[in-house]
A and B are shown apart, each in its own frame.
Chain A
Amino acid sequence: MKFAENNRISHRQLYRQMILTFLAPFLVCLPGKNGIQGMNGFWGIVLAVSVLILYVFILLRVTSGYSDMVRFLGSFWGRIAGVFFLVYIIFTAVYILKILEQIIPRWLLMGIPSGWISFLVIVVCSIGTEKGIQRRGRMAEISGGLLLAGVLLMMVLCLGQIRVDYLQEMAEAERISGAAVVQDGYLFLCGFSGVGLLPFIMREVVRPGSVGKTIIGAILTVGGILAGVLVLLPAVFGWNRLLTEEYPILPLLAGAALPGNILARFDVLWMGFLLYGLLFALGSLFYYGHQVVEKCHLRTVKYWMAALVFGLSLLEVSGIAVRTFYRNYLETIFVPGLLFIQVLLLFCGRKRKTRKTTIVALAVFVLALNGCAGIEPEKRMYPLALGAEWSEDGWTLIYGMPELPSAEGQEKEESQNSVLSIKGNDFDEIEKIYNRSQEKYLDMGHLQVLILKNQLVQSEHWKELLAYLEKEPLIGENVYVFRSEYPEQIMKWNKNGSSTGEYLLGILENRIPEQEKNGVTLRQVYQQHYENNTLLDIPEIILQDEEIQVCLE
């Protein structure tokens, strides 16, 4: 039986494994603050990909050495090399875990303790990693194409948010220098250091002689997508904002809309794709960990690697954790070390002999569900409009809530929109007051319009408001921003049962293309803020003869 007898994976399975393993961590970790950016990054990737293509040929030559390092390098050095690989794998796993700990509570599951995230992720990712490469190959073949298609589709959907003037701004602001290109290229190379683990499975790939083309194909694909993202990001966010975002890939789709308004937002799905990729990358690290243990004759006990990664992820001394120094270690120790071992293997040829070691480990998936409970939809308050006022006495936030019957269209009688005003010295205090006085959870995920008081626009305090809004991941960046002299009256205004948010949205969107006027979105406001530290010219709403009018001109 062709399938059962050979424990090998196809080139396509290897290609998809590489895509699944590298794409999501690269998209999340590399672009952004302190990462690869702009045209320097673009050319850095081009340079790094050229180097990687040459490196692949060297890698193929050292494959035989990886099959049994102890035989190849000797008992002592073989085990030392194995330990080095393991340290690299464990630290990388902890790094990915820490990223997940950062992303999930902020973007997906508020309030969940990071320890639980790590525990769940570790349990799920370590299951089955001790088994043959075929299982991972099949997983990659099933889901690799879907992930790639999903990422590309999301990027296509994102194209509608691109603004050419932002690209021009990037071209003007960024200085392309050789040093920056090399630096970004080296960072990309460091990201791809995981390729150095591939020889552990190279003998389990069909036609290993021609596997180089597949690896190069995967490198080109990942590099190409990342290069595309480097162009896309400044075109969507603007150059200056990009310099301050740690993970700019995550809010990339916060302002995008699906054709037909099937879903209001789909950035959660985008996160789902990225999350799956990160889980696969972590699973791959565990798998290679088992390979290293086997091929370097390191005796271990069951689950030690998963337990160690979990333990290290919890470890934080004086604010210093693995994540703090991982990148530095990667650039200065791991990548040179891996290269050194590979050069050693290239020159120290000994007779190869494989030894089968049985590693049996079964992970028990225990789902601990305490600590993370969702809030029912009827126990949430959905402000569709938010008014903000500032005076010497402090801040006032006005939440405009729709009346449920009118919003769902079940009852048509006239009803007043409910408005909640809360005053406080700062936003933290307002949140505290809200939490003390209101029974329902404040869900800002459906905010449609933001109305600033003219006085606030004229002062410098709008920056504080923007900083507060930016920290709130539920607020989409496609929220329309207006200014007015009387935000509270406007929000209380009601006609035919429609809420202020919906009414204002209708004024902007329910027009034929010739009549359509572009409002100002929150994303544009952010962009102007990051670029010039000024506030964009915002359309004003006036109340005349009990009618709302939006002055877009």
Chain B
Amino acid sequence: MEQKIKIYSELRKNESYIRNKFKNCADILIRPMRLGNESKVDCLIVYIEVAVSNMMLDDSALGKMINHFWESSSYQIQEFVKNNSLGIADVRKLESMKDVLSAVLAGNAVFFIDGYDKAMKISSKGYPNLGVSEVESEKVLRGSKEGFSDSVKTNSALVRKRIRDSRMKVEEKTTGVRSKTMLQILYMEDLVQEELLENIKNSLDEYRIDGIFDSGMLEQLTDKTWYSPFPQYQTTERPDRAAMEILNGKIVLLCDNSPTALILPSSFNGFMESSEDWFHHFEMTSFLRILRYLALLVATLLPGLYLAVIRFHTQILPANLILSFAKAREGVPFSSVTELIFLELSFELIREAGVRVPGALGNAIGIVGGLIIGQAAVSANLVSPIVVMIVALTALGSMVIPEEEFASAFRLLKYIFLFLGGYLGIFGIVLGIYLTISHLCGLLSFGMPYMLPFIKKVPRCDTGEGILRIPFQKRWQRPLYARWEQKIRLRKTSVEEDESRDLKEGQKQEEKNS
């Protein structure tokens, strides 16, 4: 931890301290300068080369300031700095060297004047980043195309753009002893459950770590059930999804340098929802949700069930079908379990290769892997055609699940079911289902059961949760995550009522403040 060393009024001492701290840091520029009408005022500016705008540009805040100081006396300069008379938007006085170092490392310029025991932080464009770009992993047909960027400030601004309400709070925290990564906790003050907020803050303070470079690291660090393959945070790259969840009473956690926001608490059903679910008509969305659940079952159970049926319970299938399977497998030298694992792993390889290589080449790999290798493997009698179909269906099923990380958990589970079905038949599948349900029912995401809303203590059916999507006009309650007293989210109201309610709220706030 940096000691709280106060800023000296002698510029030379400040300069030597900073030079000592930033020794061998070629990217940090420490520029002494003499300003004032007779060039008698010693000043110092410290900044990271790429992070801060060019000083010499007249239209930058720093350029304007320096031009102004050029013709001022020492006293005038100090007065200007004290009063921020130039009206630069983001200027803050710093009182300790620790603050100075943090400000410089955060991508700001820091300005010192001889004889003044405070420094001035002048915000600039900050570190380079990609900026707002189109979302890659959660593509939708309808809805915004904006995605989160690497900058936490940009990300919170994107959410703020969607919720322009003073009750949406953005709390900042720094984590990582060395990386000093900035985190932001976004929530609606009146909707969020206080215990949940407290819980997440405590979780963030629970560990000391060198550095956090992505929200994924944060997620794993704060997972309570670390051994579970199921994600306990929901993730999104879409600001509109994050905003929607905030209005549901959830908390959004943004991490600097990560375009992925974490949403908590999460639930099984939440992972199966797509952000555009609320943009389409309820009939189609309900159908799609049922389809996703079926896809989930296919992605997890199909290989295991196939093996269980063809190896143990052939009587289930019509005679023609089992004879067809038998014929198709003739000549394949491996057992059906080996065959299926071989093809599943091949598919995982194709998938991994497709992700790693650049876009156009990735598509080519998909075609080469899926069609050519699959066809060749069948022709070479390495696998039977039906297994290719099983693997393809399983892969399709896992791709239908909107949340990649959630789908990955089921991809892993698929292998367990594959072994259980292959070696213990339906008995193994039932054992696996029992274990999975038991595990999922024991999972909590920040104190909330993972299996919500399938388990409910209080019957609340107008929250819009569940497999079937209710019509938008009927979704008048907030989900269980929100505070009970704020359960109503939709009501028919007139403009007058709105105004009177705002007035009442204003009065209440005033009373509270007084």
- Residues of A at the B interface (CB closer than 8 Å) are 1-5, 8, 10, 13, 104, 108-110, 112, 117, 120-121, 124-125, 127-128, 131, 134-139, 141-143, 206, 261, 263-266, 268-269, 271-272, 275-276, 279-280, 283, 365, 367, 369, 372-378, 380, 382, 384, 402, 404-405, 407-410, 443, 445-446, 448, 474, 476, 501-502
Q: Is B87 an interface residue (CB 8 A)?
A: no
Q: Which of B173-217 contact A (CB under 8 A)?
A: 193, 195-196
Chain A residues lying within 8 Å of B90, measured Cβ to Cβ, are: none
B147 interfacial by beta-carbon distance below 8 Å: no
Can you spell out 21 A-B residue pairs with CB atoms less than 8 angstroms apart?
Answer: A1-B195, A3-B457, A5-B447, A10-B456, A108-B312, A117-B427, A120-B431, A124-B435, A141-B455, A263-B317, A279-B431, A374-B422, A376-B336, A377-B329, A378-B327, A404-B326, A404-B327, A443-B314, A446-B319, A446-B322, A474-B315
The 4 closest A-B pairs by CB, nearest first: A374-B311, A445-B315, A4-B447, A138-B441
- Say if the beta carbon of B342 comes within 8 Å of chain A: no
CB neighbours (8 Å) of A125 from chain B are 434
Q: Choose one: A3, A141, A410, A443; the contact of B327 (CB below 8 Å).
A: A410
| B297 shortest CB reach to chain A, Å | 12
Contact residues of B between 432 and 449, Cβ < 8 Å to A: 433-435, 437-442, 444, 447-449
Chain B residue contacts of A279, Cβ below 8 A: 430-431, 434
Q: Does B16 sit at the interface, judged by CB under 8 A?
A: no
A402 touches B323 (CB 8 A): yes
Minimum distance in angstroms from B448 CB to a CB of chain A: 6
Give complex CA distance A380, B315 in Å.
12
Shortest Cβ distance from residue A28 to the other chain B in the assembled complex, whole angstroms = 14
A443 CA to B312 CA in the complex, in Å?
Answer: 10
Complex: how many Å from CA A256 to CA B440? 34
**How far apart are B415's CB and chain A's nearest CB, in angstroms?**
12
CB distance from B479 to the nearest CB of A (A): 12
- Given known A108-B425, A266-B316, A276-B434, contact A376–B451 (CB-CB < 8 A): no
Q: Contacts A1-B193, A3-B448, A378-B330 given: A404-B426 contact, CB under 8 Å? A: no
Q: How large is the interface on B (under 10, 10 to 19, 20 to 34, 35 or more residues)?
A: 35 or more
Contacts A120-B431, A127-B435 given; does A2 touch B311 at CB 8 Å: no
Q: Which of A2, A136, A142, A502 contacts B480 (CB 8 A)?
A: A2
Q: Give the residue name and chain of the B residue nearest to A116 (CB).
A: B424
Docked CA distance A117–B308 (Å): 16
Known contacts A404-B323, A443-B314, A445-B314; is-contact A141 B454 (Cβ 8 Å): yes
A272/B429 in contact, CB under 8 A? yes
CB neighbours (8 Å) of A13 from chain B are 455
Binding site for A on B (CB under 8 A): 193, 195-196, 307-308, 310-320, 322-327, 329-330, 332, 335-336, 419-420, 422-427, 429-431, 433-435, 437-442, 444, 447-449, 451-452, 454-458, 480, 484
B449 & A268 in contact (Cβ 8 Å cutoff)? no
Q: Are B454 and A4 in contact (CB under 8 A)?
A: no
Question: Out of A135, A402, A410, A448, which one reaches B438, CB within 8 Å?
Answer: A135
- Of B437, B439, B484, most buried by chain A (CB within 10 Å of CB) is B437
User: Is B430 in contact with A369, judged by CB distance below 8 angstroms?
Assistant: no
Which one, B315, B335, B336, B442, contacts A268 given CB within 8 A? B315
Q: Are A2 and B316 in contact (CB under 8 A)?
A: no
CB-CB under 8 A from B440, the residues of chain A are: 142
**Residues on A with beta carbons closer than 8 Å to the beta carbon of B195:** 1, 4-5
A residues within 8 A CB of B307?
A: 374
Assembly CA distance A2 to B460 (angstroms): 13
Asked whether, in the complex, the Cβ of A142 is within 8 Å of the Cβ of B315, the reply is no
If A369-B419, A446-B319 touch, does A142 touch B442 (CB 8 Å cutoff)? no
Which residues from B are CB-within-8-Å of A408?
Answer: 320, 323-324, 327
Bound-state CA distance A272–B428 (Å) is 10
Query: Smallest CB–CB gap between B293 and chain A, Å?
Result: 13
The reply to whether A407 and B319 contact each other, CB–CB distance below 8 Å, is yes
- The reply to whether A407 and B323 contact each other, CB–CB distance below 8 Å, is yes
Assuming A408-B320, A446-B319, is B424 touching A120 (CB within 8 A)? yes
Closest to A410 in B: B327
Bound-state Cα–Cα, A378 to B334, Å: 12
List, in ascending order, chain A residues with CB within 8 A of B422's CB: 374
